A and B are shown apart, each in its own frame.
Chain A
Amino acid sequence: MGLTLTWLSVIVLIPLAGLFLRTLELSPEQFWSILSSRRTLNALRISFGLAFAAACVNLVMGTIIVWALVRYRFPGRRLFDAIVDVPFALPTAVAGVALTALFAEKGWLGAPLAELGVKVAFTPIGIFVAMVFIGIPFVVRTVQPVLLDLDPEIEEAAACLGANRWHTIVRVILPSLTPALLTGLALAFARAVGEYGSVIFIAGNLPNVSEIAPLLIVIRLSEFRYADATAIAVVMLVVSFVIIFAVNRLQRWARSRIPAD
């Protein structure tokens, strides 16, 4: 107990407290003017907006991937199962360089997309792509054990009761997976908001257009405007906390409807 608290304090709480103390060096007016500056607002909007969009895409695609991995037997299944972990393991800078090369105007995917008039690298779409890439394993790995645990017999039971495939998925399978899906969504979102390494390579980092909040923090730090940096950091912290808290409540609500066995 004592050890846990000490460890948590040293590792998590003291740095967070330091963050808040730094912000206190600013007067409320200064604090407000930093936050309400156009560049800060845009950076926050880009970070949170794109992270949320990427997490939603990961939720859908991750669910489809995990379904295939758990329910079907196909050649190379174990290989694909391992590949899911690559975004976990890959250094983020490597991921960023790889994605940039791929989506650059002369890249394998970038060239055909450019012909269609879609520019991915050095635009917000690039940020989104990087966030999708790094977030996918969170959804897959959270949902996988729950789906493995889900008895295929309940689908057979639903079929015997006259339910078609759609009813079975919407009324039986998805509700059973809801807590795990929400957890996966929250983790993918949190990771995407905090992602720095892979994003800055592909983003182009144009202020107000494709500059993410973590990058703005780094820029402020390099300009020795420490209080500005911490002010943005505090906002990110609070917003992230509120979102994670909300998802947590949602999870608890969903789980209360499926009390654990």
Chain B
Amino acid sequence: MSIEVRNLIKRFGSFTALDGVDLKVENGELLALLGPSGSGKTTLLRIIAGLDWPDEGEVAFNGEDALARGARERNVGFVFQHYALFRHMTVFENVAFGLRVQPRAVRKNEAGIRARVKELLDLVQLDWLADHYPNQLSGGQRQRIALARALAIEPRILLLDEPFGALDAKVRKELRKWLRSLHREINLTSIFVTHDQEEALEVANRLVVMDKGRIEQIGSPGDIYDNPASAFVHGFIGESIVLPVEVAEGSVRFGGSLLNIAPDGAACGASKLFVRRHEMAVGPSGSGVFEGTVHHVRSFGPVQRAEVALAGGEVIEIDAPRGKELHAGDTVGLQPRRYRIFAA
């Protein structure tokens, strides 16, 4: 099912959580809402679920108004960060809950409910835990049960609010992969909220980057990484070197001296130069637009991460390939291979 959100505004007192959000989610898509805390991503998700109501704007499912209905009638699967399992019920009863509270006319009989719960527990690969209580489960298992419970009612869309936020790093990685393959299997329109860029880049087909209640950029993970639309997105997604520069007619100045790079259409005035750490080429002194002294080098895996103090005093971190080892005290020239300039 497709979801369309138009000009959504939500205020909590004087705080504007959503400031005119427009978004269209295609049928079968796995979309990530990414942003720092307070960016409005969870509020947006809760409004789509019917757990919160916007002050202005529209939400439509398959073209029909969703705001006319409450959470209970929207047929939306919602997965909470802290699982929100019913702790007085077994895993089986947790998953069966949505089926047991259906109106009598459409409710399955006991055998039908058992079959459906079994099917879902098999789907999340936890059928052997059916008689356990939630507190006897690990965090990862609890979240899979919460997902099975949400899927029991055959929801039209699936919403996940920081589903892996409370789990440790290793479990989180496993569950990410598992969620992606599960999505391939059931192909349900899904939105998940996260503040973890790695998670968003890895799981989603499409990414929505949010900040301060607004959408900053929408695109594929690769697209957003390579062509960030704003200074915020460049800084938030991936590691960046940020330097203050002054843009004038056709020239870029850094700390008073002219840099031999084009402003690329950036507006005149105080600006910021963004370069990815690995896109700063390191050469001998005099070979680049920046001069610097290596302070400190840490080598691991395929890269050596060097802390370089520039002539103006700024200290930046760069990732250079292994092979030509850098040493503390070296004087180097730095040349950005790719860069972006945004107004400060």
A residues within 8 Å of B by Cβ?
A: 151, 153-154, 156-164, 167, 171-172, 175-176, 178, 257-261
Contacts and interface: CB of A to CB of B under 8 A. Distances in A.
A155 B69 CA distance: 17
A151 B97 contact: no
B82 interface: yes
A155 B100 CA distance: 16
Given A160-B49, A161-B101, A258 B87 contact: yes
22 contacts: A157-B84, A157-B85, A157-B146, A157-B149, A159-B50, A159-B70, A159-B72, A160-B74, A160-B76, A160-B150, A162-B72, A162-B75, A162-B98, A162-B153, A163-B97, A171-B97, A176-B87, A176-B88, A178-B88, A259-B133, A260-B135, A261-B135
A172 B87 contact: no
Interface string B61-94: 0000000001111111110101011111100000
B17 to A, nearest CB: 17
A161 B49 contact: no
Between B78, B146, B150, the greatest number of chain A beta carbons within 10 A of the residue's beta carbon is seen for B78
A153 B149 CA distance: 14
A153 B87 contact: no
Given A162-B98, A163-B72, A163-B101, A157 B80 contact: yes
Given A153-B82, A160-B150, A176-B88, A259 B97 contact: no
Contacts of B308: none
Contact of B87 (A160, A162, A163, A261): A261
Contact of B136 (A172, A175, A259): A259
B299 interface: no
A61 to B, nearest CB: 24
Contacts of B87: 176, 258, 261
Interface in B106-144: 133, 135-136
A160 B86 contact: no
A159 B71 contact: yes
Q: Which 4 A-B pairs have the closest CB atoms?
A: A161-B98, A153-B84, A157-B84, A163-B101
Nearest to A174: B88
A257 B133 CA distance: 8
A149 to B, nearest CB: 11
Contacts of A158: 86, 97, 101
Contacts of B75: 162
A160 B77 contact: yes
Nearest to A166: B101
Contacts of A154: 84-86
Contacts of B135: 259-261
A161 B51 contact: no
A162 B152 CA distance: 11
Contacts of B70: 159
Query: Chain B, interface size: which category?
Result: 20 to 34
Interface of B: 49-51, 70-78, 80, 82, 84-89, 97-98, 100-102, 133, 135-136, 146, 149-150, 152-153
Nearest to B89: A175
B136 A162 contact: no
Nearest to B102: A162
Contacts of B101: 158, 161-164, 167, 171
Given A160-B76, A161-B97, A258 B88 contact: yes
Contacts of A167: 101
B3 to A, nearest CB: 15
A176 to B, nearest CB: 5
A257 B87 CA distance: 8
Contacts of B150: 160-161
Contacts of A159: 50-51, 70-72
B72 A164 contact: yes
A160 B51 contact: yes
Contacts of B136: 259
Given A154-B86, A159-B70, A159-B71, 5 more contacts: A160-B72, A160-B78, A161-B97, A164-B72, A257-B88
B88 A156 contact: no
A73 to B, nearest CB: 13
A158 B82 CA distance: 14
B325 to A, nearest CB: 52
A161 B133 contact: no
Contacts of B74: 160
Contact of B84 (A156, A162, A164, A260): A156
A160 B98 CA distance: 9
A219 B136 CA distance: 56
B187 to A, nearest CB: 21
Contacts of A160: 49-51, 71-72, 74, 76-78, 150
Nearest to B98: A161
A153 B85 CA distance: 9
B80 A153 contact: yes
A259 B84 CA distance: 16
A175 B88 contact: yes
A168 to B, nearest CB: 9
A154 B82 CA distance: 10
Nearest to B132: A259
